[in-house]
Amino acid sequence: MRIAVLGNGIVGNTIGTKLCELGHDVMMGSRSATNEKALKWKSTAGARADVGDFGAAAAFAEIVFNCTAGTGSMEALSMAGEQALDGKILVDVSNPLDFSKGFPPYLTVCNTDSLGEQIQRTFPSVKVVKTLNTVNTFIMVNPSLIAGEHDMFLCGNDEKAKAQVEEILRGWFGWTQVLDLGDITNARAMEMILPIWVRLYGKLGTPNFNIHVVK
Protein backbone atom coordinates (compact mmCIF):
# COMPACT_ATOMS: atom_id res chain seq x y z
CA MET A 1 0.00 0.00 0.00
CA ARG A 2 1.15 3.59 -0.62
CA ILE A 3 1.22 5.47 2.64
CA ALA A 4 2.10 9.05 3.56
CA VAL A 5 3.62 9.88 6.90
CA LEU A 6 3.32 13.61 7.48
CA GLY A 7 6.00 14.77 9.88
CA ASN A 8 9.70 13.95 10.22
CA GLY A 9 10.00 13.82 14.00
CA ILE A 10 10.33 10.72 16.15
CA VAL A 11 6.70 9.71 15.55
CA GLY A 12 6.94 10.01 11.77
CA ASN A 13 10.29 8.21 11.80
CA THR A 14 9.04 5.32 13.89
CA ILE A 15 5.74 4.80 12.08
CA GLY A 16 7.40 5.32 8.68
CA THR A 17 10.09 2.75 9.39
CA LYS A 18 7.57 0.24 10.70
CA LEU A 19 5.39 0.64 7.59
CA CYS A 20 8.43 0.12 5.34
CA GLU A 21 9.33 -3.01 7.28
CA LEU A 22 5.81 -4.27 6.69
CA GLY A 23 6.40 -3.92 2.94
CA HIS A 24 4.55 -0.71 2.22
CA ASP A 25 5.73 2.18 0.08
CA VAL A 26 6.08 5.15 2.39
CA MET A 27 6.57 8.81 1.56
CA MET A 28 7.52 11.04 4.47
CA GLY A 29 6.05 14.51 4.03
CA SER A 30 7.75 17.68 5.28
CA ARG A 31 7.52 21.39 4.55
CA SER A 32 10.26 20.91 2.00
CA ALA A 33 11.07 17.90 -0.18
CA THR A 34 14.71 18.37 0.76
CA ASN A 35 14.21 18.41 4.53
CA GLU A 36 17.39 17.07 6.10
CA LYS A 37 15.70 14.99 8.79
CA ALA A 38 13.45 13.37 6.21
CA LEU A 39 16.38 12.65 3.89
CA LYS A 40 18.27 11.10 6.77
CA TRP A 41 15.29 8.87 7.51
CA LYS A 42 15.09 7.86 3.83
CA SER A 43 18.76 6.88 3.89
CA THR A 44 18.13 4.39 6.70
CA ALA A 45 14.61 3.09 6.06
CA GLY A 46 15.26 1.08 2.92
CA ALA A 47 14.18 1.04 -0.71
CA ARG A 48 10.49 1.56 0.04
CA ALA A 49 11.12 4.89 1.77
CA ASP A 50 10.82 8.18 -0.07
CA VAL A 51 10.40 11.81 0.85
CA GLY A 52 8.48 14.78 -0.50
CA ASP A 53 6.74 17.94 0.57
CA PHE A 54 3.39 17.61 2.38
CA GLY A 55 1.44 17.91 -0.88
CA ALA A 56 3.49 15.32 -2.77
CA ALA A 57 3.25 12.85 0.12
CA ALA A 58 -0.51 13.26 0.45
CA ALA A 59 -1.04 12.97 -3.33
CA PHE A 60 1.11 9.82 -3.44
CA ALA A 61 -0.74 8.04 -0.67
CA GLU A 62 -3.76 5.81 -0.30
CA ILE A 63 -3.69 6.37 3.47
CA VAL A 64 -2.19 9.33 5.33
CA PHE A 65 -0.77 9.31 8.87
CA ASN A 66 -0.68 12.71 10.56
CA CYS A 67 2.47 12.51 12.67
CA THR A 68 3.15 16.23 12.85
CA ALA A 69 3.32 18.06 16.16
CA GLY A 70 -0.24 18.96 17.09
CA THR A 71 0.42 22.69 17.17
CA GLY A 72 1.57 22.50 13.53
CA SER A 73 -0.92 19.96 12.20
CA MET A 74 -3.48 22.36 10.72
CA GLU A 75 -0.78 24.24 8.83
CA ALA A 76 0.84 21.02 7.59
CA LEU A 77 -2.49 19.66 6.36
CA SER A 78 -3.29 22.97 4.68
CA MET A 79 0.05 22.76 2.90
CA ALA A 80 -0.80 19.20 1.86
CA GLY A 81 -4.00 20.58 0.40
CA GLU A 82 -7.61 19.41 0.34
CA GLN A 83 -7.31 18.03 -3.17
CA ALA A 84 -4.41 15.72 -2.32
CA LEU A 85 -6.22 14.49 0.79
CA ASP A 86 -9.67 14.20 -0.80
CA GLY A 87 -11.55 11.04 0.19
CA LYS A 88 -8.58 9.46 1.92
CA ILE A 89 -8.26 8.04 5.40
CA LEU A 90 -6.25 10.33 7.68
CA VAL A 91 -4.97 8.51 10.75
CA ASP A 92 -4.52 11.34 13.25
CA VAL A 93 -2.06 10.38 15.97
CA SER A 94 -1.23 13.96 16.98
CA ASN A 95 -1.89 15.86 20.19
CA PRO A 96 -2.43 19.63 20.51
CA LEU A 97 0.21 20.06 23.19
CA ASP A 98 1.90 23.40 23.80
CA PHE A 99 5.32 22.96 25.43
CA SER A 100 6.26 26.64 25.10
CA LYS A 101 5.61 27.30 28.79
CA GLY A 102 7.53 24.25 29.98
CA PHE A 103 6.53 20.92 31.43
CA PRO A 104 3.83 19.78 31.83
CA PRO A 105 2.42 21.10 28.53
CA TYR A 106 -1.06 22.52 28.01
CA LEU A 107 -3.63 21.51 25.42
CA THR A 108 -4.26 24.26 22.87
CA VAL A 109 -7.80 22.99 22.37
CA CYS A 110 -9.94 20.76 24.59
CA ASN A 111 -13.22 20.06 26.35
CA THR A 112 -15.66 21.49 23.77
CA ASP A 113 -13.48 20.80 20.74
CA SER A 114 -10.36 18.88 19.73
CA LEU A 115 -7.67 18.81 17.11
CA GLY A 116 -9.26 15.73 15.57
CA GLU A 117 -12.53 17.61 15.16
CA GLN A 118 -10.80 20.72 13.81
CA ILE A 119 -9.14 18.61 11.13
CA GLN A 120 -12.42 16.90 10.24
CA ARG A 121 -14.27 20.23 10.02
CA THR A 122 -11.55 21.83 7.88
CA PHE A 123 -11.32 18.83 5.54
CA PRO A 124 -14.86 17.43 5.40
CA SER A 125 -14.08 15.01 2.55
CA VAL A 126 -11.23 13.42 4.52
CA LYS A 127 -12.00 10.36 6.65
CA VAL A 128 -10.32 11.32 9.91
CA VAL A 129 -9.69 8.48 12.35
CA LYS A 130 -8.18 9.50 15.68
CA THR A 131 -6.08 6.83 17.34
CA LEU A 132 -2.65 6.01 18.81
CA ASN A 133 -2.33 9.51 20.36
CA THR A 134 -2.49 8.11 23.90
CA VAL A 135 0.79 6.18 23.79
CA ASN A 136 4.46 6.75 23.08
CA THR A 137 5.41 6.14 19.47
CA PHE A 138 7.38 2.97 20.25
CA ILE A 139 4.24 1.52 21.83
CA MET A 140 2.14 2.66 18.86
CA VAL A 141 3.85 0.23 16.50
CA ASN A 142 4.83 -2.39 19.09
CA PRO A 143 2.24 -2.69 21.87
CA SER A 144 3.88 -5.89 23.10
CA LEU A 145 6.59 -3.70 24.64
CA ILE A 146 4.14 -3.46 27.53
CA ALA A 147 3.47 -6.67 29.42
CA GLY A 148 -0.14 -7.56 30.03
CA GLU A 149 -3.39 -6.21 28.66
CA HIS A 150 -3.75 -2.56 27.70
CA ASP A 151 -6.08 -0.64 25.43
CA MET A 152 -6.09 1.54 22.36
CA PHE A 153 -8.94 3.95 21.65
CA LEU A 154 -10.21 4.96 18.23
CA CYS A 155 -12.89 7.32 16.94
CA GLY A 156 -14.12 8.83 13.70
CA ASN A 157 -17.21 9.49 11.62
CA ASP A 158 -16.68 6.92 8.84
CA GLU A 159 -17.38 3.33 9.84
CA LYS A 160 -15.49 1.75 6.94
CA ALA A 161 -12.47 3.94 7.58
CA LYS A 162 -12.51 3.00 11.26
CA ALA A 163 -12.73 -0.70 10.39
CA GLN A 164 -9.73 -0.36 8.07
CA VAL A 165 -7.69 1.52 10.68
CA GLU A 166 -8.63 -1.03 13.33
CA GLU A 167 -7.32 -3.73 10.99
CA ILE A 168 -4.07 -1.75 10.65
CA LEU A 169 -3.81 -1.48 14.44
CA ARG A 170 -4.46 -5.18 14.94
CA GLY A 171 -2.92 -6.78 11.88
CA TRP A 172 0.06 -4.51 11.23
CA PHE A 173 0.97 -3.15 14.65
CA GLY A 174 -0.23 -5.99 16.89
CA TRP A 175 -2.87 -4.29 19.03
CA THR A 176 -5.21 -6.84 20.58
CA GLN A 177 -7.60 -4.49 22.37
CA VAL A 178 -9.12 -1.61 20.42
CA LEU A 179 -12.07 0.36 21.79
CA ASP A 180 -14.12 2.30 19.22
CA LEU A 181 -15.53 5.27 21.14
CA GLY A 182 -17.81 6.52 18.34
CA ASP A 183 -17.72 9.63 16.18
CA ILE A 184 -14.90 12.16 15.91
CA THR A 185 -16.21 14.28 18.80
CA ASN A 186 -14.73 11.61 21.06
CA ALA A 187 -11.30 12.88 20.02
CA ARG A 188 -11.64 15.49 22.79
CA ALA A 189 -11.77 12.73 25.41
CA MET A 190 -8.81 10.94 23.83
CA GLU A 191 -6.71 14.12 23.65
CA MET A 192 -7.64 15.01 27.25
CA ILE A 193 -5.90 11.84 28.40
CA LEU A 194 -2.61 13.60 27.66
CA PRO A 195 -2.53 15.74 30.81
CA ILE A 196 -2.48 12.61 33.00
CA TRP A 197 -0.19 10.86 30.50
CA VAL A 198 2.54 13.50 30.71
CA ARG A 199 2.35 13.49 34.51
CA LEU A 200 2.58 9.70 34.67
CA TYR A 201 5.54 9.92 32.31
CA GLY A 202 7.21 12.22 34.82
CA LYS A 203 6.30 10.03 37.77
CA LEU A 204 7.06 6.63 36.25
CA GLY A 205 10.28 7.79 34.58
CA THR A 206 9.45 5.98 31.34
CA PRO A 207 7.17 6.71 28.38
CA ASN A 208 6.59 2.99 27.92
CA PHE A 209 3.27 2.59 29.68
CA ASN A 210 -0.38 2.61 28.78
CA ILE A 211 -3.74 2.36 30.49
CA HIS A 212 -6.00 -0.65 30.68
CA VAL A 213 -9.71 -0.30 31.29
CA VAL A 214 -10.65 -2.83 33.97
CA LYS A 215 -14.19 -3.93 34.80
CB of 66 to its own copies, least distance (A): 21
CB of 165 to its own copies, least distance (A): 17
Between CA 135 and CA 58 the distance in angstroms is 24
**Interface with its own copies, residue 147, by CB under 8 A:** yes
Asked if 64 and 90 touch (Cβ cutoff 8 Å), the reply is yes
Nearer to its own copies, 172 or 201 (CB): 201
Q: Which stretch binds its own copies (CB under 8 A): 28-36, 39-47, 63-71, 204-212?
A: 204-212
Per CB under 8 A, contacts with its own copies among 107-146 are 107, 110-112, 146
Q: Which of 23, 47, 102, 214 binds its own copies (CB under 8 A)?
A: 214
Task: Calculate ∠ Cα 145-18-120, nearest 5°.
Answer: 100
Binding-site size for its own copies (CB under 8 A) equals 37
Query: 12-15: long-range contacts (C-beta < 8 A, 24 or more apart)?
Result: 12/41, 12/65, 12/67, 12/68, 13/41, 14/137, 14/138, 14/140, 14/141, 15/65, 15/67, 15/93, 15/137, 15/140, 15/141
CB of 188 to its own copies, least distance (A): 6
Residues 4, 5, 7, 8, CA torsion sign: negative
CB of 118 to its own copies, least distance (A): 16
The partner residues of 182 in beta bridges, in order of sequence, read 155
Between CA 22 and CA 34 the distance in angstroms is 25
Q: Which stretch binds its own copies (CB under 8 A): 2-10, 65-73, 122-130, 147-155?
A: 147-155
Looking at residue 97, its amino acid is: L
**Interface with its own copies, residue 204, by CB under 8 A:** yes
**Interface with its own copies, residue 71, by CB under 8 A:** no
Binding mask 174-203 for its own copies (x = CB under 8 A): -----x-xx---x-xxx-xx-xx-xxx--x
Instruction: Summarize as ranges the residues that interact with its own copies (CB under 8 A).
Output: 104, 106-107, 110-112, 146-150, 153, 179, 181-182, 186, 188-190, 192-193, 195-196, 198-200, 203-204, 206, 208-215
